[in-house]
């Protein structure tokens, strides 16, 4: 195994839909499946880590979340992509659904879910780690993991980039989409 790529879901692999609750509204970001196939073929494990606060906030039911999750996994499977892990955090400290209302170690930017995946997969220390997402919470998680970080312009990426620049924060690199992120990772983090 060459390394692991932690990927956000909404705005990174599928189009951003505020509190996605209907599988029919799920659309792949152009080139996502092809990019993931290239990464997997090169020896990278693929792990999706996603905050799904809509459960805590009562924006969708567990059955709706499950339907979207199954559609997401099946869509990418039908395009030749098998994820090594798919983990979701349903919590939010201001949630309205009691069982999900809490501060936790799994909600990004906390690295709890990523560390869970790393323990389960027992990857060697020599493996490279990458975090790819459209929010600074993804980038902050990556920094806590000491991973290379890529902020994408898709989803919330452009507004997140502007906001983090105002605060003096920076991702490892800012790229247009998952296609360029795959190119960047496959080149070892160098411009072609």
Active site residue 8: yes
- Separation CA 6–CA 115 (nearest Å): 11
Listing DSSP states for 159-191 in one string gives: HHHHHHHHHT---SEEESSHHHHHHHHHTTS--
134 labelled catalytic:
no
Q: Are 134 and 11 in contact (CB under 8 A)?
A: yes
The sign of the CA dihedral 32, 35, 40, 41 is: positive
Find how far residue 99's CA is from the centre of its chain: 24
Q: Using CA atoms, how far apart are residues 181 and 59, in angstroms rounded to an integer? A: 31
Active site residues per annotation: 8, 10
């Amino acid at each position: 195994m060459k390394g692991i790529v932690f990927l956000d879901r909404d705005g990174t692999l599928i189009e951003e839909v505020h509190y996605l609750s209907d599988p029919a509204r799920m659309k792949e970001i152009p080139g996502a499946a092809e990019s993931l196939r290239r990464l997997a073929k090169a020896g990278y494990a693929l792990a999706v880590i996603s905050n799904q606060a809509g459960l805590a906030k009562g924006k969708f039911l567990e059955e709706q979340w499950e339907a979207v999750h199954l559609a997401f996994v099946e869509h990418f499977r039908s395009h030749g992509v098998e994820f090594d892990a798919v983990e979701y955090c349903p919590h939010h400290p201001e949630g309205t659904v009691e069982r999900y209302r809490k501060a936790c170690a799994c909600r990004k930017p906390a690295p709890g879910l990523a560390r869970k995946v790393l323990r389960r997969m027992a990857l060697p220390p020599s493996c490279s780690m990458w975090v790819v997402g459209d929010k600074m919470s993804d980038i902050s998680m990556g920094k806590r993991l000491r991973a290379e970080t890529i902020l994408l312009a898709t989803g919330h990426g452009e507004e997140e980039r502007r906001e983090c620049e105002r605060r003096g924060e920076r991702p490892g690199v800012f790229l247009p989409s998952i296609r360029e992120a795959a190119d960047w990772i496959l080149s070892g983090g160098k411009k072609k």
